[in-house]
Amino acid sequence: MTNCIFLEQVEIRLGGAQIFSQLSAEIQQGEFIGVFGPNGAGKSTLAKSILGLLPVASGKISVFGSSPGRNNHLIGYMPQFRTNLENTALSAFSMVAAVAHGNRWGLPWQGITLKKEILEVLKLAGAMEYAHRPFSVLSGGQKHHVALAQALVGKPRLLILDEPLASLDPGNQMRLIQCIKKIQTSTGATILFIAHDINPLLGIMDRILYMAGGNAAIGSVKRILTSQALSELYRAEIHVIRAEGRIFIVAAEGNVTETARHA
């Protein structure tokens, strides 16, 4: 497998505060990686560093063999906080067209080739059925699929999805996850899936990257989601409880951790 992302002893600081340090990992092309941890652990910060939007304090990040930012044309990004266009009259098709060739001046010219690409990504993202409906009338789940279609423009080799399940009910969560898994299978893209809830992704991910207490560990679910491994990350006694096919993370004093409240 080809190396997609290489992280070596990476340290990130924001406003003088250390977010995480000594993060090392190799992510191969075509892997489905789930990224988990409590709020403030640095999940979104890591995504921005891979995109070259935040510099590293020390260490090295390589994306497709180059420094962050140089190969962003190979990356599709679905940010956590998307532009508020809830009341726009634009159709879902136009919303996707608006991000196509966004590096060029002027309005995008929707030639035959571009129109074909937009229809292809809408179909791939499961949004073809409502491609010509106004974005404002779509349900929350449908809007997430349109945002996914936007990230697919340009046939990216890496998809960075920051909290794509946020505000979705369990049914819509599973539909979106299944859609993303099909995209990975059909295109061979690497998936970096940031989430709070581990359980919907069990059986889908190849490996997980868990971040907590300024530390991080990457590996299989079986290896990382253990009481010993998470206690080392949190620097506190943590219990991992498995019940009825679900995983719960509980602090030693009996309180469910911030991450596990979502899990």
CA dist 69 and 230 (Å) reads 32
CA dist 125 and 108 (Å) reads 21
Question: Domain-by-domain residue ranges, the chain?
Answer: 3-261
Return the residue matching tokens 């206690």: 231
Q: Is 11 exposed, middle or buried (0-12, 13-18, 19+ CB in 10 A)?
A: middle
Q: What's this model's pTM, rounded to 2 decimal places? A: 0.90
pLDDT, one tens digit for every residue, the chain (263 residues): 678 999 999 999 988 889 999 999 999 999 999 999 998 899 999 999 999 999 999 999 999 999 999 999 999 999 986 666 677 788 999 999 888 765 544 455 567 888 899 999 999 999 999 999 999 999 999 999 999 999 999 999 999 999 999 999 999 999 999 999 999 999 999 999 999 899 999 999 999 999 998 899 999 999 999 999 999 999 889 999 999 889 989 887 655 444 444 33
**For residue 149, what are the contacts with CB-CB under 8 A and spacing of at least 6?**
92, 96, 118, 121, 122, 124, 125, 127
Buried b (16+ CB within 10 A) or exposed e, 69-106: eebbebbbbbbeeeeeeeeeeebbbbbbbbbbeeeeee
Q: Supply the CATH classification number for the domain 3-261.
A: 3.40.50.300
